[in-house]
Amino acid sequence: MLTQKQLQLLEFIYKRTQKNGISPSFDEMKEALDLRSKSGIHRLITALEERGFIRRLAHRARAIEVTKMPGTQTTVSNNFSPKLFEGSRPSRPIGAINIDSHNVNSVPMMGRIAAGVPISAIEDYTYDITVPGNMVSGQGRHYALEVKGDSMIDAGINDGDVVIIKETNTAENGDIVVALVENQEATLKRFRRKGSSIALEASNPAYETRVFSDTQIKVQGKLVGLIRTY
């Protein structure tokens, strides 16, 4: 069952996409629902995605497709192809290496991490993945997380990428970290400390920087590598 706001947003996205062939911007969604900030839109989008009513097209910022409407169990099909905008999947980076051609190590995959509005805290161990040995060189425990969301897209981290994290409880300004928010939610963001405040900074202008007291944030690891499937 959807809340009134979730249903309102779903109908707005559906009608706008039907009319224009592209999903509305977050600013347009915020205005349509009369919300004060985009963070409320992000929460609604996440809820709709978790319930299977929409999907965010991979590696493209804010490209949303309605997959079904309330009362139906089938995928929405209206003979149109949504246009994509505001970013596209980057080409293979220069210097990218193939895992199978180098020394490799295994690290545990610990679930998903939100690069967007924080979702549930890091899950338990699921399986091991293979990574280049030089990505996890040096002392310390490493683990992997699958990225969910597009808030770090301007840092080259896309929805669906796998990030390799070195476990640590400290960070320098500018580091991209796994941060646990109020012992409940984990997110991947750039770390900024000023006095007793910590800012979790996105790398996508669609997302607001969130500021917390240092007692609300626990650093759980620092980004050391990224794996992408082409």
Which one of the listed residues 23, 38, 148, 151 is annotated catalytic? 151
E strand spans, the chain? 54-56, 64-66, 104-114, 119-120, 127-132, 142-148, 162-166, 176-181, 185-194, 197-201, 210-213, 217-227
The question of whether 189 is a catalytic residue gets the answer yes
Domains 4-66 and 99-227 agree in fold: no
Q: How far apart are CA 40 and CA 72, in angstroms?
A: 26
Token code pair at residue 128: 């091991």
> In this structure, which amino acid lies at residue 89?
R
| pLDDT the model gives residue 98 | 59
Q: How far apart are CA 71 and CA 121, in angstroms?
A: 31
| pLDDT the model gives residue 199 | 96
Q: How far apart are CA 59 and CA 150, in angstroms?
A: 7
| pLDDT the model gives residue 169 | 92
Which one of the listed residues 30, 166, 189, 222 is annotated catalytic? 189
| pLDDT the model gives residue 94 | 57
In the chain, which stretches have pLDDT less than 50?
59, 73-75, 77-90, 101-102
Q: What is the CATH number of domain 4-66?
A: 1.10.10.10
pTM of the model: 0.57
Give domain 99-227's CATH architecture: Ribbon (2.10)
Domain ranges of the chain: 4-66, 99-227
Output the DSSP codes for 147-164: EESSTTGGGT--TT-EEE
| pLDDT the model gives residue 149 | 84
Q: How far apart are CA 43 and CA 141, in angstroms?
A: 32
| pLDDT the model gives residue 71 | 67
Alpha-carbon torsion, ordered 143, 162, 117, 65, to 10 deg: -150
